[in-house]
Amino acid sequence: MREEIKKSWRGYFIPVFCLGCLLLNCYLLLGRWEYRDDIQKINRMASETGTRITNSIMQDYEKFWTEKMNTSGMKWEELEGFIRMAPGLFENVSLEDMAYSYISDNHLSGEAAEYAVSLYHGLEGRKQEISANEAGTLFLPASMSYFSYLSVYILFITAIETIAGCVLITVRNTHFEINNRTEAVIYTTSKGRRTITNKLTCSILDGIFISAILYGITFILLTAVYPVNNLLTAPVSSGMNELGGSPCISSWPISIGGYFLLNFITASGLGIVFVLLAFTLSAVIRNSFLAVLLVLAGTSIIRIAGMNMPLSVMSYFYEKYNPVDCLLQAGKWFISCSSSVSLPFYEPGTIILWSMILGSACMIMIRRFNRQEL
């Protein structure tokens, strides 16, 4: 195993790949730079007055904003409007309207539309819980679209980068001997044949490591560019938050910091699924470039098949339990809004189901490799 890890780091693929991805993330992080001063003010305000919105604390907010801070940027009246609206926002949220918005966006009808409505109606209890406990929490105003930007761009792109890294490092590890023309030496012994199992284990560990580096450093950069450390404990379902123009209804109480961690865990799980997929194909295809193309072709086929599913039957939702659609939901995992709804056990169910399927395929490929003539 130690030798396989050394091989995976030989050539500096992992550091160079991670550096390139992080440079892209740095560029994307500048997308809300014009709000940086106001974000900094609100973060400082949260450190002195807390994040729980009450009638008695409104005067403290106003005093802090108008007396202790520079009055350039967002005016107090604008911020006050968001703060006063936040506690009661979810009381006026119509789950019916959110359901029909989702149905309209996805062109659903018949049984599928009825099921979508039932999913949104099932959020009633969670909506009341948010209204009572989470909605009245200080966060960045919806006009900044900060959380939408964080989810739709930063978390989504980082998840894509993680999966790309997992696929590439798996193909590279599996084909290391072939690319270096040492397979005739290594694989002629029984011990050499067993290294194929170590390659799979090494690829999984490398994938988790890539995910940790990308999410960890991106999080550090995020809090450095936009000081939000005092707002990380605010719930995702704060009344001042929004995603795609509508309130966020998280599956359970999740803080902003916890949501970032949850995205890392989910992306790592999906990364393992794609490692298993890439390994299965790489064990059959001896050309690295062709193996990567087959992974892309496989994901494209899954996506195209999903796009052509009937929009009036329940199979539309069953087909969603695949790693490609799950990846495309990155940034909206465990959250329901007018443009997405969290299906029952969607993220863990998809990861576990496909890990079992592809894990079995990997075992078959390993046995086949150990028995074949080179």
Cα 283 to chain centroid, rounded: 29
Residue 264 has pLDDT above 70, yes or no: yes
Q: CA–CA separation, 274 vs 169, rounded Å?
A: 11
Mean pLDDT of 99-126: 92
Structure tokens at 252: 């359970």
Average pLDDT, the chain: 87
Average pLDDT of span 108-130: 93
CA-atom Rg of the chain in angstroms: 24
Over residues 304-320, the mean pLDDT reads: 87
Q: What is the pLDDT of residue 75?
A: 84
Q: What does the pLDDT look like over 9-42, one tens digit per residue? A: 777 888 999 999 999 999 999 888 888 888 988 9
Per-residue pLDDT at 194 exceeds 60 = yes
pLDDT at 88: 87
Higher pLDDT, 177 or 169: 169
**Residue closest to 204 by CA, chosen among 158, 154, 162:** 162
Give one word for 110, left, alpha or beta, with left for phi > 0 and alpha for psi -120 to 50: left
**Residue 349 confidence class, pLDDT cut points 50, 70, 90:** very high
Q: Please classify residue 114 by burial: count the beta carbons closer than 10 Å to its beta carbon, then call 0-12 exposed, 13-18 middle and 19+ buried.
A: middle
Distance CA 194, CA 186 (A): 10
- Look up the pTM and report it: 0.91
With 0-12 CB in 10 A as exposed, 13-18 as middle and 19+ as buried, what is 2? Answer: exposed
Inform me whether the pLDDT recorded for 365 exceeds 90.
no
Quote the pLDDT of residue 3.
Answer: 64
pLDDT tens for each residue of 199-227: 899 899 999 999 999 999 999 999 999 99
Backbone angles phi, psi at 100, to 5 degrees: -70, -25
pLDDT value at 188 more than 90: no
pLDDT value of residue 309: 82
105, 130, 142, 235, 317 from 147: Cα distances, Å: 21, 17, 8, 11, 26
* pLDDT given for residue 182 in this prediction: 61
pLDDT over 70 (residue 186)? no
Enumerate residues 6+ apart whose C-beta is below 8 A from 37: 70, 72, 73
**pLDDT recorded at residue 13:** 86
The whole-number average pLDDT for the span 312-332 is 92
Asked if pLDDT for residue 63 goes beyond 90, the answer is no
pLDDT at 116 over 70: yes
Alpha-carbon 246 to chain mean position:
19
Question: Residue 58: its pLDDT value, please?
Answer: 84
pLDDT of residue 240: 92
State what percent of residues in the chain have pLDDT above 90. Answer: 52
Task: Report whether pLDDT(251) > 70.
Answer: yes
- pLDDT at 82 exceeding the cut of 70: yes
Answer yes or no: is pLDDT of 374 > 90: no
Residues in the chain: 374
Band of residue 373 on the pLDDT scale cut at 50, 70, 90? low
At 72, the pLDDT band (50, 70, 90 cuts) reads: low
Quick one: pLDDT band at residue 285, thresholds 50, 70, 90?
Answer: confident
Quote the pLDDT of residue 372.
Answer: 63
